[in-house]
Amino acid sequence: MDQAAQTSTEEPVVAQEDESTAGVSRLSFLATGVAAGVGATLLGPLGRSATALADPGKAGLSKGDAAILRFLAAAELLEADLWQQYNELGGIQDAQVPGGSGSPRYVSALEVLDEDMSQYIHDNTHDEVSHFTFINAYLKSRGADPVDLDRFRNLPSSKATGAQQIGRLTNLTELTVDTSWWTKYRSSTKNPDFGDKFPQAVPGMAAGRFPAIPRSDSDLEPANHIQAIANTAGFHFGAVEQTGASLYPSLAQRVSDPEVLRVLLSIGPTEAMHFQTWHDKAGNAPPLTDPTSGLVFPNLNAPPLGGEEFKTNLIMPKPTIFLRRSLPVASIVRPTNTQGAALATFNAVAAEELFRGQPKEFFATLTGLANAADAAARHGR
Ligand SMILES: [Fe+2]
Ligand SMILES: [Fe+2]
């Protein structure tokens, strides 16, 4: 896929700044990193309150709609934070996604999965920044409070050459990646909404804790070690984006305001577009054993996987059971159950150790946002 048209040289920095909404500048977020005053930049650079920024033509949000949007804003802030770390070392650092200077050996290992990996990482990062920026600005435009997680930006950065040294929300160095999305989207008889479980594509990755970015320059060799790190990233990319692809339709079912529904229905499918891309790339992760950690990446085209159901170029969602077994199978995003979806999503991501090192207050805050979203009820039923 040629994404050359999305390179930064074709989108002037000035235009970025001009397009920032209500003073919210994506560029300043990325350029400053965070430590110093992103909260102030993001949440009210001119000292205006959320109410003062509200769109006079729009009524306020219902409590439920605001709670759903606030959880999504938090999820997008977390997504943007992890993608930013990937971009600094493995993506393209430019005016759209500034910060970091790249790690050539990590980039080379990622390119084994696809020669355009750096561009895709850049674009996914850019998209996530746009998601939280938009949702927070939208909340303000409707008189609601945006979400600020800056007080939790305390996790360390990678010490590898190429990474910024700033506080992070997420930890990419000890991940327990759930790779069952690989088999879940290939099943024609099972659906997580029916309580079904799915085998891991890379069982070792779900049974330990592994880095998805080089932790320091000592992780850049031997070759199979940095390749294992890039492979881990490749499967983590799919894990993250399939979560987003499910979260939006799950929460959309409890939105009341048609415009809020439009927001969810317009952002959600972009998560699925990301997922589709990463699903394709993960299948190119070369089989190997990490000589440092012992992590094994199996041949995905051989038993216990392989065969028609699991071949690596089968990347579109296999039709499967949906709603009731009496209905025909359908190609669908899965899961999309709406009950408890926000908390289940947060807990699943937390189980992957993405927030390892965060204090209890972080988990309490995110759980609170998730519970509030899950308590939203659609009006007019
Ligand atoms: Fe997103
Ligand atoms: Fe995403």
The predicted-structure confidence for 157-175, as pLDDT tens digits, reads as follows 999 999 999 999 999 999 9
Higher pLDDT, 221 or 28: 221
Higher pLDDT, 14 or 292: 292
Q: Which ligand is nearest to the CA of 130?
A: 1
Q: How far away, in angstroms, is 123 Cα from ligand 2 center?
A: 10
Q: How far away, in angstroms, is 378 Cα from ligand 1 center?
A: 23
pLDDT at 311: 84
Q: Which ligand is nearest to the CA of 86?
A: 2
Q: Which ligand is nearest to the CA of 243?
A: 2
Burial 254-291 (b: 16+ CB within 10 A, else e): bbbbeebbebbeebbebbbebbbbbbbbbbebeebebe
- Residue 102 domain-assigned (yes or no): yes
In the predicted structure, residue 27 carries a pLDDT above the cut 50:
no
> Phi and psi dihedrals of 296, rounded to 5?
-105, 125
Contacts of 7 (CB under 8 A, 6+ apart): 92, 94, 119
Contacts of 347 (CB under 8 A, 6+ apart): none
Q: How far away, in angstroms, is 48 Cα from ligand 2 center?
A: 29
pLDDT at 349: 98
- Residue 380 domain-assigned (yes or no): no
Is residue 254 within 8 Å of residue 264, measured between CB atoms? Answer: no
The DSSP code for 62 is P
Question: Binning pLDDT at 50, 70 and 90, where does residue 306 land?
Answer: confident
pLDDT at 226: 98
- Residue 8 domain-assigned (yes or no): no
CA distance 204 to 232: 11
Alpha helices in the chain (DSSP H): 13-19, 26-32, 38-43, 63-90, 104-111, 117-141, 181-184, 223-252, 258-282, 307-310, 341-351, 360-374
Q: Which ligand is nearest to the CA of 242?
A: 2
- Residue 227 domain-assigned (yes or no): yes
Mean pLDDT of the chain: 88
In the predicted structure, residue 34 carries a pLDDT above the cut 70:
no
Lowest mean pLDDT among 4-13, 62-71, 288-297, 324-333: 4-13
pLDDT at 304: 86
CA distance 111 to 121: 11
Q: How far away, in angstroms, is 177 Cα from ligand 1 center?
A: 19
Q: How far away, in angstroms, is 181 Cα from ligand 2 center?
A: 15
In the predicted structure, residue 44 carries a pLDDT above the cut 70:
no
pLDDT at 76: 98
- Bridge-based pairing of strands 288-289 and 296-297 is antiparallel
Long-range contacts (CB closer than 8 Å, 24 or more residues apart) made by 233-236: 233/86, 233/90, 233/110, 233/172, 234/110, 234/113, 234/278, 234/281, 234/282, 234/284, 234/285, 235/177, 235/179, 235/182, 235/201, 235/202, 235/205, 235/282, 235/285, 236/172, 236/175, 236/177, 236/212, 236/352
Lowest mean pLDDT among 26-30, 160-164, 205-209: 26-30
In the predicted structure, residue 39 carries a pLDDT above the cut 80:
no
- Residue 3 domain-assigned (yes or no): no
Q: How far away, in angstroms, is 197 Cα from ligand 2 center?
A: 23
pLDDT at 314: 87
Range of the domain at 318: 14-374
CA distance 349 to 314: 25
In the predicted structure, residue 25 carries a pLDDT above the cut 90:
no
pTM of the model: 0.86
The Cβ of residue 19 has, within 10 Å, a number of other Cβ atoms equal to 11
| Domain total of the chain | 1
Instruction: Classify 125 as helix, strand or coil.
Output: helix
Q: How far away, in angstroms, is 346 Cα from ligand 2 center?
A: 14
In the predicted structure, residue 30 carries a pLDDT above the cut 70:
no
Burial 48-65 (b: 16+ CB within 10 A, else e): eebeebbeeeeeebbebb
In the predicted structure, residue 79 carries a pLDDT above the cut 70:
yes
Q: How far away, in angstroms, is 71 Cα from ligand 1 center?
A: 12
Q: How far away, in angstroms, is 247 Cα from ligand 2 center?
A: 10
pLDDT at 19: 35
Question: Binning pLDDT at 50, 70 and 90, where does residue 224 land?
Answer: very high
Question: Binning pLDDT at 50, 70 and 90, where does residue 56 land?
Answer: low
CA distance 58 to 237: 37
Q: How far away, in angstroms, is 238 Cα from ligand 2 center?
A: 9
Q: How far away, in angstroms, is 253 Cα from ligand 2 center?
A: 19
In the predicted structure, residue 26 carries a pLDDT above the cut 70:
no
pLDDT at 54: 59
Q: How far away, in angstroms, is 299 Cα from ligand 1 center?
A: 30
Q: How far away, in angstroms, is 381 Cα from ligand 2 center?
A: 30
pLDDT at 57: 58
- Residue 20 domain-assigned (yes or no): yes
Q: Single out the residue of 168, 134, 143, 159 nearest to residue 38, CA to CA.
A: 168
Q: Which ligand is nearest to the CA of 277?
A: 2
Question: Binning pLDDT at 50, 70 and 90, where does residue 59 land?
Answer: confident
In the predicted structure, residue 32 carries a pLDDT above the cut 80:
no
- Residue 358 domain-assigned (yes or no): yes
Mean pLDDT of 60-67: 96
Q: How far away, in angstroms, is 279 Cα from ligand 2 center?
A: 13
Question: Binning pLDDT at 50, 70 and 90, where does residue 53 land?
Answer: low
- Bridge partners of 324, per DSSP, are 322
Q: Which ligand is nearest to the CA of 120?
A: 2
Contacts of 338 (CB under 8 A, 6+ apart): 250, 251, 253, 254
Q: How many residues are given for the chain?
A: 381
Mean pLDDT of 237-247: 98
In the predicted structure, residue 323 carries a pLDDT above the cut 60:
yes
Q: Single out the residue of 173, 235, 244, 227 nearest to residue 204, CA to CA.
A: 235
pLDDT at 380: 56
- Residue 6 domain-assigned (yes or no): no
In the predicted structure, residue 305 carries a pLDDT above the cut 90:
no
